[in-house]
Structure formats: C-alpha cells, structure tokens
Structure 1
Amino acid sequence: MIKITEELTKPLLIDGAMSTALEQLGADTNNPLWTASVLAHQPALVKEVHQAYFKVGARLAITDTYQANVPAFINNGYSERQAHQLIRRAVILAKEARDEYQQATGTYNYVAGALGPYGAYLANGSEYTGDYHLSTAEYQQFHRPRLTDILSVGVDVLAIETQPRLDEVLAELDLVKKLAPGTLCYVSFSLKDHTSLPDGTSLSVAARTVAKYSNVFAIGVNCIPLEEVTAAIETIRTVTDKPVIAYPNSSAIYDPQTKTWRYPRGHRRLTSYLPQWFTAGLTIIGGCCTTTPQDIAEIHEYLKGGDKDA
C-alpha cells in the first residue's frame, strides 16, 4: 500500500460534497443530523456517493462523519450504542466503496475519517462563525467518542475539516497524538476572510501553529467561496512547506436557517480557477458543499491535460 504522502509530488484529487450528491439521489438531509441521518435510513446511498466520486477520478474519499457524533445522534432519538454503530458504519461504507473500486481497477484510493467541529454539532452554522468556546478538556470529551470509532474501523488519514477555531484544532490534534500518534491528519479551516479564521486568528498563525505537528501532512481550507482560495493558498505557503489542500464550495451562499444554498450572479465553474490555484501552490484539490461528481470529473479531466480552458 502506497502512503498518501508518497503521492503528493503531483496534484491529488479528493471527492466533492456528500450532501449535494445525496440530495441528487433523493435523500432528505434537511434535518439537524444533515447527511448523518442517511446513515441510519439509506446507507446504501452513502456508499453509492463514494463510488460515484471514485469512478470520476477522486483518489480520497471523506467519510460521512462530519456531523455524525454521539451527542447529535442521542439528541435525535438514537441510543448511545446506535450512535457508535452509525459512526462506524460511515467508515465501513467508505472503505467498502474503496476496496470494491480497487478490486475492479487495481488502484488503491484513500479514506479520510472526517472530524467536523463542535460547531457542526450545534447545527446553526457556527462552523462558519466560530461563535462558541469550550475548554481543551471539553473539546476532547466531545471529539473522543467519534475519533475512537473511526480509529477502531481504520482509515488512511484523519480529516480535521471546516474548523473555525484554532483552539479546537489544537485540542483535536493533541487528542490524536494521545490516541493514535502515528495517524496522519490534514487540517482544513473555514475562514472569515482570506486572511483570518472565524475566531479572529490569522490564517498564517493558524497554519504555522498546526504545521508544527509532525503527523499533519497537509494544511488548507474548505467550504469557502472560490474567489477566496488563491489568497488563502498564498498565505499558507508563506509559513509552511507542507502540501496545501483546498476544497471550496461553489460560491453558493448558505442559509443556516433553511439549510439551503443560493448562487450569486456571475457564478463561475470551479475549473476556471485551477490554473491560478496550482500556480499559487495547491497540491490537494476537491470540492465541498454544492459540488458534485460532475465537478470532480471536470477537475480530473483538467489534471489529465484535458480542457485547460474549462
């Protein structure tokens, strides 16, 4: 098995949104558990989404555990035992899709265990505002059960993603160091603007700080507008030589009350930004909310040397 870090001499393609793809398959994600609810009622659809992304060229699948955490499941009527089973199911589904793809093609792809922030559990959009604060011990108490479940099934890397607060990220990284010190992680922040996190920490300080962890193999941003990605990449590259990861949304604007997205005027395709992103120093690329397998297919074609003017 090739380690993911050995492949980062060239751009690596990750998947796109789980939510948008599930909705296209008819799943209802408009609830406090968001995509995690599908793990209980229509798990085959989650696996189908992973398969769809692999088929169009994605090399890294992110598990459907972003909003899957024990307190959220319990708050929505599940037992603690069921909550753990559903978290583990999410990882199993991604690994099954990966293994079946490998059997069919001979290509080994990667699975990233997603650790969404505490703000995702609050289900009020605070992963984009950072409007909450816990102690280190409280953050770790929240993240430990899900992390333990993910590690029990096994993943290639951990995705500490859509993170609005540096203090929470450091608590998570310290917890990983304690429970599984050899496990590779990437850290991906949400942003207030291209220079700062929602909690007010500058992106350069945040990137420099997490880069000190030896098991952090990539640092970047996700679920930010396409227009902000270039400056974010440039900022990160000024403070670390570690690979930069970016998987933005499609610049649609999120309404946390209705849990829906709307597109601004003049909306451009993700692929139109790729030349400037790679020039700025991007290594790992994919899509977040409102992106689809079609978007990932277009990026794949670009990386193969297809339509450079997309």
Structure 2
Amino acid sequence: MSSQPLETDVVILDGGLATHLEALGYDLRDELWSAKLLMENPEAILQAHRDYFAAGADVATTASYQASFPAFEQRGRVRHEAQALMQLSVELAKEARDDAGGGVVAASVGPYGAYLANGAEYTGDYDLDEDGLIAWHRPRWEVLADSGADLLACETIPSYAEARAIAALLRETPNINAWVSFSCRDGEAISDGTPLAECAALFAGNPQVVAVGVNCTAPSHVKSLIGRLTESPIIVYPNSGESWDAEDHRWLGIADPVEFGAAAREWRDAGAAYIGGCCRTTPEHIRQIRESLA
C-alpha cells in the first residue's frame, strides 16, 4: 500500500537501490554493483524503482552510480553499448515515475571512487587531480546531462578536488540542474578532511544547484552537518546507521526504520528540505520517513 497521498513539507528521496535489489534476491557482489543489472536484468531495477515510489518516494535515483565507460569497457561493452546502458538507467526510472503518476528522475553521478571499487568514495584517496577528475567524469556526465533526466544527483563526493571538478562540469553544461552531496567522516568534514562548509561554498549562488548536503554518511552526524550549511535548500540521505567493513566486504550493525523515520523529523527541523536514505536503507525506511514527516 502506497503512502504517497500523505503530504509533507519536504521532498522525499528514495533509499538504497542496491540494498533493495539484494533484498529482492539479486547478487550484486560485483564491481559494477547495481549497474550490472542494466546488462543482466533491467526489469529488476524497474521493480525496485516502483517499490520506492509505492513506499512514498518523490524521486527515483538511477542505477548509474557505478556505471562508467571504463567500467563497461572492462566487461567488453564498446562505447555505444555503454552509452545505451547509461541511457537505459534513466529510461527505467522514467517508466517507474510515469507508472507512479509523477515524481522526479535524478541521474546518479557517482564519484570516481565508486569506479575504483576499493572504498575510496569513503576516503577521497584518489590517484587523479582535479583536471584528471574532470576528464574522467566528462564522458558519462555528457550522456546523463542529455538523457532526459530531470537533474543530476552528484553524490557521495569524498574529496575537495572532486567537488571542484563537479563545479567545473556544471559550468560546462548550463542546461542541466543538479544536487551535490558529500560523504562525510564526522559532523564537520567530508571524507578527505575538508570542512563541509568549504566544499558547499563552491556551489553557493549557482542557480543550477537545487540542493547541497550529505549522503552515505552515518545518521548520527547529519544534524551537525546540516548546521555547517548556511545556504538552502539542504539535502540529506544518510546510510542506515550500519558501518561498512571494507576488508571483509560486509555491513556491521543494526538499523531500525522507525528510528530512522523519527530522526528525519530532526533533520527537517534543522533545515533539510530533501530527505531520504542511502546504503542499507529500504522502502520501509522511506515509508517511515514519509509517515513521520506527514
């Protein structure tokens, strides 16, 4: 049963796409993560988007987080095939949106660290500088900016250099809007140690940027991080509260959707205008957010 009719004063994002796909029975132990299903079972992605809309989400974030030309080329997909798979990620989200009777499609632009698949999106430990990051992001960026998505979700950004690269790419493509969200290591700084406020300042006053905030971050840090952001709108979609053990490739801890929904009220009251979930959050987390904020 959908919670969609309940009214809230914030935009409700979706939750962890890969998390829900795994709950549906799909094995994503792969460097492409959920993007591998673009090749193997796109209907599964469509179902996951539909489930999030049914739970009350206003936004579908595409399965392109881990998608990139180099990643697909490593699987033997030539350039036009890789581009078609990225476009497919948007078409699936648009179909689910239309089935739900409305909503927003956000094309996920994951960080360079997601391609490295070594946990670097949580550390910002990169082997590319700002110019290298611009060059790496640009081919996928151009595809997604021209895909028909409503906006780009530039998410889980762990480094100041990558934030500067994203800002540069936005200047290159004035026809597309975006939100920008950072992975953070504590209540003050993003993953590479740069203060969140310093990163957010790169996007201050840019009319293309619909929101700035944090994702893929412990929920215990979110309220403090909101306080570091002086401009609105603010977007937050943290992890469930569990922690990722990169060495053993598993999640540690327990998260409760009801507690997550209750925390969303604090984030709204602190100033967040877009609220959802990231890793290990499910349609039930999104349902609890909407009902808690209604």
Q: 1:185 aligns with which of 175, 178, 185?
A: 178
Instruction: Give runs of aligned pairs for residues 108-257 of structure 1, distance below 5 A.
Output: 108-178=102-172, 180-236=173-229, 239-240=230-231, 242-257=232-247
Q: TM-score, normalised by structure 1?
A: 0.88
- What's the CA shift for 1:220? 0.5
Q: Distance in 2 between matches of 1:126 and 1:292?
A: 24
Cα gap change, 1:269 to 1:122, in 2 (>3 Å): same
Local SS of the residue matching 1:269: helix
CA contact (8 A) 1:247 1:285 kept: yes
**Counterpart in the other structure of 1:262:** 252
Unaligned runs of 5+ in 1: 1-8, 103-107, 305-310
Local SS of the residue matching 2:51: helix
Q: Distance in 2 between matches of 1:220 and 1:57?
A: 21
Q: Distance in 2 between matches of 1:212 and 1:123?
A: 33
Q: Which amino acid aligns with 1:18?
A: L
Q: Distance in 2 between matches of 1:38 and 1:261?
A: 21
Local SS of the residue matching 2:227: helix
Cα gap change, 1:154 to 1:267, in 2 (>3 Å): closer
Q: 2:265 aligns with which of 265, 275, 278?
A: 275
Q: TM-score, normalised by structure 2?
A: 0.92
CA contact (8 A) 2:145 2:152 kept: no
CA contact (8 A) 2:15 2:52 kept: yes
Q: Distance in 2 between matches of 1:162 and 1:265?
A: 20
Query: Larger deviation: 168-177 or 24-33?
Result: 168-177
Tell me how many residue pairs correspond in the alignment: 287
Q: Distance in 1 between matches of 2:9 and 2:256?
A: 31
- What's the CA shift for 1:202? 0.6
Instruction: Give runs of aligned pairs for residues 7-156 of structure 1, distance below 5 A.
Output: 10-102=9-101, 108-156=102-150
CA contact (8 A) 2:167 2:202 kept: no
Cα gap change, 1:152 to 1:266, in 2 (>3 Å): closer
CA contact (8 A) 1:18 1:64 kept: yes
**Counterpart in the other structure of 1:289:** 279
Q: Distance in 2 between matches of 1:24 and 1:139?
A: 33
Aligned-pair identity (%): 40
C-alpha deviations, 1:228-255, integer Å up to 9, x for none? 111011111xx32x21110011111112
**Counterpart in the other structure of 1:105:** none
CA contact (8 A) 1:160 1:187 kept: yes
CA contact (8 A) 1:170 1:210 kept: no
CA contact (8 A) 1:30 1:259 kept: no
- What's the CA shift for 1:133? 4.2
Local SS of the residue matching 1:35: helix
CA contact (8 A) 1:161 1:188 kept: yes
CA contact (8 A) 2:121 2:183 kept: yes
Local SS of the residue matching 1:174: helix
Q: Distance in 1 between matches of 2:239 and 2:49?
A: 18
Q: Distance in 2 between matches of 1:258 and 1:82?
A: 33
Structural RMSD (CA)? 1.8
CA contact (8 A) 1:112 1:157 kept: yes
Q: Distance in 2 between matches of 1:264 and 1:62?
A: 24
